[in-house]
Chains A and B, each alone.
Chain A
Amino acid sequence: MNIKKLLIKTFTFIGGLYFFLEFVMPESVFDFDKYHESISNAFITMSCMAVGLGIINLMVLHLDRIVYKKKDYFFSLTLLLSLFITLVILSLDWYQNEKIVSKANKFLTLSKFSEVILDDEKAKNSKVLAVNIRNQKLISELEKDINLIDKNSININEAKERELKEVLERVEKSKDNIKKDYHSTKYNLNLSKRLRNLSIVYREYLQYKNKDSLIKKLYLICFDGFFNPLVMSMFSLLGFYVATAAFKAFKIKSFESFLMMLSALIVILGQVPFGVKIWNGFPSLRLWLLSVPSTGAFRAITLGAFIAGLVMALRMWFSLEGHEKGGKN
């Protein structure tokens, strides 16, 4: 057998073997739980790296049309421009969000540092600096970061901004308590909690302030202007198509189509007030139809599909191909 083909089949088998063993092996023999999340993430990472294939395919197809000015090249240009512009807008929006998070996380870092000082003091850790020096550094860093917040721009008439001002005041109080005695860790836990809260509130405040930025507006045009309405409109096309499909399907050509139409009619009449006016038993009949025979048929179909899927999965795992799948090389 060709060595490349053998290698491919080996990789296929190993990929399946891990998850098979993870399921069948009892914990007493080997505990997979320790590594399972990491290994699962590794496989997801591997699949995620393929994300560029779609972009490359789009670019090859549409650039070809644009360069050679083939039919509909204008639309290909539209596609590629919208792709790149959206990439830029989303990237900038992401970057902006990361900047906000990073600013807010400064307080989270100081919160954790305050707790670490307390824990090290309790554990009498001699490998670190003295408590008073660490507290001094904590407070000096905190003061630097607080000074970066432009308190003059906080509008106390706005709820979010008022909340930020209140939290800042509480942090200042805790900070002042520590300043009274750097040797003591009595107020470190309290400061840590308030700093954690400040980090959350400050992030929300910055996101709130950011909503009027140019990037955010472009993002909203992209999503609330184009993307979401396009998604909802496509979804709503179903309303038209379900009517045309019903018109075609409910032409009674056979006993089977009659049964299908009858059950659909009963279910529809059981849902609308008009149906209840004709006969008040329709809602109960509808519920019965959906919960008893439909459930039975649904379960039989899905069970069959699960079994067939399992057989197919076995073939995939052992690379047993009846058709050309990617094994010929």
Chain B
Amino acid sequence: MLEHHPDLTASVIYGLGWLYLLLFLMNCAWVWRSYHQDGEVKLFGQGVPVASIWALYAAMLGMISTAHLTGSNNPQMFLLRMPDAFKSAVDSLSGPVSFFSLSVGLFVAVILLREWIVKPTVGWVLLNASLIFLALSMTDYDFRQIVGKPDNVPIVAMLFICAYFTWLSFACAVENDKRKAAGKPLYSQEKNDKILVWPDLVYSELICMVLVTALLVAWGIVLQAPLEEPASSAKTPNPSKAPWYFLGLQEMLVYYDPWMAGVVLPSMILVGLMAIPYIDFNKLGNGYYTFNERKFAISTFLFGFLPLWVAMIVLGTFLRGPNWNFFGPYEYWDVHKLELLNNVNISEWFWYKVMNTKMPVAPAGSDQATQIGYILLREWLGLVITVAYLAVLPPLMAVTVFRKFFVRMGFLRFMVLSNLILFMASLPIKMVLRWSFNLKYIVAIPEWFFNI
């Protein structure tokens, strides 16, 4: 049977061969490292060097790579591909809810298990696992279509780079925290000699510039910058997406109206970022990596950056298809996929379900004051909730969970901090409300373009 969209083609297999070859070479280096650093494990009552297990794995990768590079003449018969059962399981399990839960779960796991994750072997296993997952997933046509788009390649790279640097910072932080706990000076304080900028820094900068230039030229040759059809204001492409770095904001548009998702929340993000140095009263952790001394600051920032920014970009780029519907990573982007989008407002729920009446509507021809009164009456519950959220919660937080903060920060700093946190929390809160109660708007006043 001829497949129109083949999962595997000769060129894909060949490309994957190079990826496995790279992985093989990386693991050869790792075997060498392991031979010198890792000890032995007891296997079947015998001492076996850990390096031998890695050597076995590397040899396997070498063989897989050879198979890919030489055996690409009949793609249909090629066996190494992502199993269909796994693909359909992932597709059926994935959705905005599970995706967001997974990213928050990962975030919590990284923080709780940091001392375990920063071990080099654990980091290496995670890197290998993610690369092999990526390689196997590339054998799926739909996955390849999205991930392989030239504009999306930097996002894949960014994921690995972000993960690596998060790992690296935690490695440094854990090391520093251990030294502090033992009363020893920080690693960086031991390495405190003054050196001359010429040649050490100047030459590292030069090498860095050469490497970056080489990377850019290679990237420019391999991947062509995208250019679609000439612009037409009548034909909206489906889906039409903002530039990739704004896709986190575009994802917020699912839950909030443009004035919130596009103007208020981004402004709050920027104001919040600028406010950080002025509301962080903690004098510790200035100029070195640490986690234990800045638990709250680092956890909050990581939560904002990883699940709420990077993960949202991934969701918006890879998993949102036509009509901004959610699609699993191996799912075909079907334009006609139907998704029920009938959501209700709090006011509708209150008047129809609780009071069992109609919505209050101002009588026709009434004056402006009456109309305003009726609108406020209609939306009173949502308005009360919103005002309470922004006005009652901060003092409540000041006397309960954030009592120590409040005492140390003073009134103004605390109000700024608590409001920033409330705005940051408003996104996940609205997401959960949407998923669990199909809530559309907390306050719905389309007459004034005022929907929350």
Partners in one complex: no
A residues near B (Cβ < 8 Å) are: none
B residues near A (Cβ < 8 Å) are: none
